[in-house]
Structure 1
Amino acid sequence: MSRVSTGGHADIELLHRLVGGDGGAALDALLDGFTQQHPDVPLGDVTNENLSLTVKSRILKEDPPDVWIEWPGKNLKPYTDAGVVGDLSAIWTDGNMEQNYLDGPKDAARIGDTYRAVPLNIHRINNLFINASLADEVGVDPARIDSPSAFAEELERIDAETDHVGMLFPMKNPWTVLQVFETVLLGEQGHDTYRAISDGRASQHRREIVQALEIVQRYGAVATDDRAYLSLTDANERFIEGESVFFHQGDWAAGAYTETDGFDYRSEWSHVPFPGTDGYYAMNMDSVVSAADTDTPDAVETFLRYVGSADGQRRFNRKKGSIPPRTDVDTGQFTPFLQEQQLAFQQSRSQPLSITHGLGVRPDQLIELKTAVSAFVSSWDVESAADAVITALEQSS
């Protein structure tokens, strides 16, 4: 824990879990930039691995942190229902911030008509990474695969006709399976149906949910025998080592690729939007929110405005391996991969909010969805899994 106080004034308390690695480096870059621009505003940061639990406990004790880093979207619904997060609408509308965000990030920042968060970064989840040499060897053109079902056919062909693994599919943690499911649902059914299902009308789209689960089942059938015990980190390393033609994951996976000598972008690995999701930028993101009441409202507002600034987001995202939610940030010093991600974001027709990462569903629903997919990969019972998914998405908070 580090706390800094100057001039006898109370610190702004920032609670987060960005410790070490790219997250810690990104936060340090953000805070350094803020201190340079606002040396008179005291800021202390407190790290906590059990962030959500700690924030909730502090709220119950009527001692919330001034600001904390949290998923936006429906993840914030319990906080807004309790009236404990601040109204940040003035920060959005007073300057040029609102006009420099696309609709998806703005939707994530709003609960109802009120802005409650300042998005800090974006990770795209609907990436399909490609081992270039293996794709040539098995005779597949990823850009020509136009749907999740067509992708299943291609994986089945690779399994039947070659000695290669089509796609590594880690299932040790349920969120990786849920992420595949939601990406398949988006790619096969489109954003309108995806949004209707996540917004509480799942039972009206049972057939589409069943179809998505059947496709996920087909992916699992041609995955490696150890899929149930395979973690994301291990799968990513094995993809780098050339074990599979494809790997589906958020763009955070590419951090390991760029750090691997001899595994060069474009010549050794590349990426396309997951089949059927071209034009969609499915988002996971972090944001900063504030308590409804703080002892230092002016200082908190100054910090939140910096979080939403082009300078703050350039500093943070360059180190984090993500892209800025603002569309006017100079990404000239970002990696070529991230520059392409930023361009795809700016050109996207829609920016769906991820179910798996808490933006598109409430926290209680996310827990039930993870339970549903855990049972699914144990039994591969599509009908039972569809029932569980619908129950999770239509339950009341």
Structure 2
Amino acid sequence: MSNTDSRYAGSRSGAELLHRMVGGDGEAAMSALLEGFQSRHPGVSLGDVTDENLSLTVKSRILKENPPDVWVEWPGKNLAPYVEAGVLADVSDVWTDAAMEREYLDGPRSAATFEGTYHAVPLNIHRINNLFYNVELAVEAGVDPSSVSSPREFVELLRQVEVETGQVGMLLPMKNPWTVLQLWETVLLGEHGHDVYQSVTDGEAGRHRRAIEDALDIVSAYADLATDDALYVSLTDANERFIEGESVFFHQGDWAAGAYTETDGFRYGSNWDHVPFPGTEGRYAMNMDAVIASEATDNDEAVEAFLRYAGSADGQRRFNQKKGSIPPRTDVAMGQFTGFLQRQHEDFESSRSQPLSITHGLGVRPEQLIELKTAIASFVAERDVDAAASEMVAAFEQQ
């Protein structure tokens, strides 16, 4: 932590923002947000400190009674340990005074609240239940991606693609367990519905063991139809291979589309497109970042000013344009966003529900997420559905 410790002392004269957005679209997004904040509040001192080990650093500094004033973290159940320890500020006034509540849908609001109290301001939303596809290859295979009604039915479509084109239907990166866990939760949502998904994340996984097993079985079927080297393929590698036309389909969060828009000759709508993953139509499964504040801050006015700006339409427009995500507010002008993100925002506004992602820590506590990734790592290596289901049920029911 030596690269950041030296900066902490110098930033204490004003409010301190700690985040992990270093390089790429994350850094560009944070720079745009801070530039907008300073233009609105030129008299407020706000120093930002970057740290790639943010969660560990925050926990360490809380224990040392020297927490950052504000930091950026996943909301939802990921914040439960902080709330239980009483170290997060109650930011409800920001929501009521700024009239933000009416501009946020239920999903983002629920990720920010604990027992009726707001402890976070969601900053952006990434959708995880996207199914990207190569338009030309889909036509060649004679398949309509929007016609598939369930994850189980999608298995048959992938087999059809292989027969018709001789190519793999869907690339499946399995090098890191989180990509497989993300696919599993999307399959669970699509095959068994939002009520089962919510019940599983609420600690009632034992009641739904068969659904958990079924989703694992479907993921295993996808793996059987993946490339021979799938166990060694990373997300970045798989995304590049999808761009090169190695598969018709690719399931991933909307962050994958950043590489598509930056690739010459790979145009949205004509070369690549997307639909909700089969069975998840009308659901906007979310990963998001949020701004949270320490209960022990000495810089109340500066912290409140930044929280209000982070939750404002202007702040979210600036941040999300650069981040390649959509604003959690529904009243942000989308005219300067890409066509893909404009369509994502339309889907978000019209969605029936906005489930909180398991894989990205919103739908489960940190210790549960560790156990779930461990279970999936074993499943990837051994493909033992029964054993993996037992481990996952135990993880979900750990409270």
Normalising by structure 2, report the TM-score.
Answer: 0.97
Q: Is the 8 A contact 2:140 2:165 kept in 1?
A: no
Q: Does 1:270 align with 2:273?
A: yes
Q: Does 1:283 align with 2:280?
A: no
User: Equivalents in 2 of 1:4, 1:49: separation in Å?
Assistant: 15
Q: Gaps spanning 5+ residues in structure 1: where?
A: none
Out of 77, 80, 95, the residue aligned to residue 80 of structure 2 is 77
Aligned to 1:310: 313
Q: Does 1:389 align with 2:359?
A: no
User: Equivalents in 1 of 2:287, 2:223: separation in Å?
Assistant: 24
User: Equivalents in 2 of 1:330, 1:10: separation in Å?
Assistant: 35
Aligned to 2:373: 370
Q: Is the 8 A contact 1:281 1:348 kept in 2?
A: yes
User: Equivalents in 1 of 2:238, 2:206: separation in Å?
Assistant: 34
Aligned to 1:28: 31
Partner SS for 1:25: helix
Q: Gaps spanning 5+ residues in structure 2: where?
A: none
C-alpha displacement of 1:395: 1.3
Q: Is the 8 A contact 1:3 1:44 kept in 2?
A: no
Q: Is the 8 A contact 2:123 2:290 kept in 1?
A: yes
Aligned to 1:218: 221
User: Equivalents in 1 of 2:67, 2:299: separation in Å?
Assistant: 13
For residues 1-397 of structure 1, the aligned pairs below 5 Å read 10-396=13-399
User: Equivalents in 1 of 2:307, 2:102: separation in Å?
Assistant: 17
User: Equivalents in 2 of 1:93, 1:261: separation in Å?
Assistant: 45
Runs of 4+ in 1 over 6 A off after TM superposition: 2-6
User: Equivalents in 2 of 1:9, 1:216: separation in Å?
Assistant: 49
Q: Is the 8 A contact 1:5 1:43 kept in 2?
A: no
Which amino acid in the other structure matches residue 255 of structure 2? W
C-alpha displacement of 1:9: 8.4
User: Equivalents in 1 of 2:345, 2:163: separation in Å?
Assistant: 37
Q: Is the 8 A contact 2:141 2:160 kept in 1?
A: no
Deviation string, structure 1 residues 197-230 (Cα, Å, up to 9, x no partner): 0110000001111111110000000000100000
User: Equivalents in 1 of 2:315, 2:103: separation in Å?
Assistant: 14
The 1:313/1:214 distance shift into structure 2, 3 A limit, reads: same
Partner SS for 2:86: coil
User: Equivalents in 1 of 2:195, 2:64: separation in Å?
Assistant: 41
Q: Is the 8 A contact 1:3 1:11 kept in 2?
A: no
Deviation string, structure 1 residues 102-157 (Cα, Å, up to 9, x no partner): 00000000112111000000000000000001101111100101100010111122
C-alpha displacement of 1:158: 2.3
User: Equivalents in 1 of 2:113, 2:289: separation in Å?
Assistant: 14
User: Equivalents in 2 of 1:293, 1:5: separation in Å?
Assistant: 16
Partner SS for 1:190: helix
C-alpha displacement of 1:182: 0.1
Percentage of matched positions with identical amino acids: 68
User: Equivalents in 2 of 1:161, 1:332: separation in Å?
Assistant: 40
User: Equivalents in 2 of 1:369, 1:110: separation in Å?
Assistant: 24
User: Equivalents in 1 of 2:370, 2:8: separation in Å?
Assistant: 37
Partner SS for 1:39: coil
Which amino acid in the other structure matches residue 154 of structure 2? F
User: Equivalents in 2 of 1:267, 1:25: separation in Å?
Assistant: 28
Report the aligned-residue RMSD.
Answer: 1.5
C-alpha displacement of 1:161: 4.5
Q: Is the 8 A contact 2:86 2:295 kept in 1?
A: yes
The 1:50/1:9 distance shift into structure 2, 3 A limit, reads: closer
The 1:208/1:5 distance shift into structure 2, 3 A limit, reads: closer
Deviation string, structure 1 residues 337-357 (Cα, Å, up to 9, x no partner): 000000100000100000000
User: Equivalents in 1 of 2:218, 2:65: separation in Å?
Assistant: 47
C-alpha displacement of 1:162: 3.4
Q: Is the 8 A contact 1:5 1:44 kept in 2?
A: no
Deviation string, structure 1 residues 29-56 (Cα, Å, up to 9, x no partner): 0000000000000010111010000000
Partner SS for 2:146: helix
User: Equivalents in 1 of 2:35, 2:22: separation in Å?
Assistant: 15
The 1:322/1:368 distance shift into structure 2, 3 A limit, reads: same
